[in-house]
A = this chain, B = another copy of it.
Amino acid sequence: MKKPSLDFWFDFASTYSYPAAMRIASLAETSCVTVRWRPFMLGPIFKAQGWATSPFNLYPAKGRNMWRDLERVCAALDLPFTKPDPFPQNSLLAARAALVALAGNWGESYCRAIYRAEFGKGRSIEKGDAIGEILKSLGQEDHAVLERAQSTEIKLQLREQTEEAQRLGIFGSPSFVTAGGELFWGNDRLEAALDWARR
């Protein structure tokens, strides 16, 4: 029998996508579900609903609670946590490089390494040199990957993937979508999404 699958939609700028990215592989393995990692850009989706930045910046009480809550969530999972500055990070280049990485067999390691640098260590993931360092630490040719990440083909692929996310009704990250189109939003729904994928 074919293993059930689940699409994991994420933006590297998103806070709660960090614990989700760190948890999903082992939970999916236990559940016998195949996960497809699907980077996309939240920015255009936020802009479409009139937000110029993260709602966590637009609504300070919501933002304060999120940082404190994320700290508690990470502590409970034994994940290091440091708030990146500025927040949100511009995740465009990191997302493009993720598409290159995910076409190879080292995509998930790359995605986890980006999240770990950004929210575990509070480092910038915006520029080529920061991403290049992570690529090197994974044994990849940083210049070649970054050049490919900025090709027209990859730029277009990320744009199309973002449009697909929007068509699926995705409005936040992380989101999980089953083969049947059932949408789950948020790190808190990862287990429910995996359960649904197996139904």
Main SS of the interface on chain A?
A: helix
Complex contact B171–A59 (CB within 8 A):
yes
User: Interface residue tally of chain A, by bracket?
Assistant: 20 to 34
Question: Contact mask A134-170 → B, CB, 8 Å, 1/0?
Answer: 0000000000000000000000000000000000011
CB distance from A123 to the nearest CB of B (A): 28
CA distance A192 to B188 in the complex (A): 12
In the complex, which residue of chain B has the Cβ closest to the Cβ of A49? B59
Q: Across the interface, which residues of B come within 8 angstroms of A22, CB to CB?
A: none
Complex contact A188–B188 (CB within 8 A):
yes
Complex contact B192–A65 (CB within 8 A):
no
Complex contact A65–B188 (CB within 8 A):
no
Q: Across the interface, which residues of B come within 8 angstroms of A183, CB to CB?
A: 65, 68
Complex contact A62–B171 (CB within 8 A):
yes
Q: Across the interface, which residues of B come within 8 angstroms of A59, CB to CB?
A: 49, 171
Most buried by B among A65, A68, A170, A188: A65
Given contact pairs A49-B59, A59-B49, A69 touches B189 in the complex (Cβ within 8 A) = yes
For the complex of A and B, list the 4 residue pairs with the smallest distance between their C-beta atoms, beginning with the closest.
Answer: A61-B171, A188-B188, A62-B171, A61-B169
Question: Which residues does A use to contact B, with CB under 8 Å?
Answer: 49, 59, 61-62, 64-65, 68-69, 72, 76, 169-172, 183-185, 188-189, 192
20 A-B residue contacts at CB 8 Å?
A49-B59, A49-B61, A59-B171, A61-B169, A61-B170, A61-B171, A62-B171, A62-B172, A64-B169, A65-B169, A65-B171, A65-B183, A65-B185, A68-B183, A69-B184, A69-B185, A69-B189, A72-B192, A76-B192, A188-B188
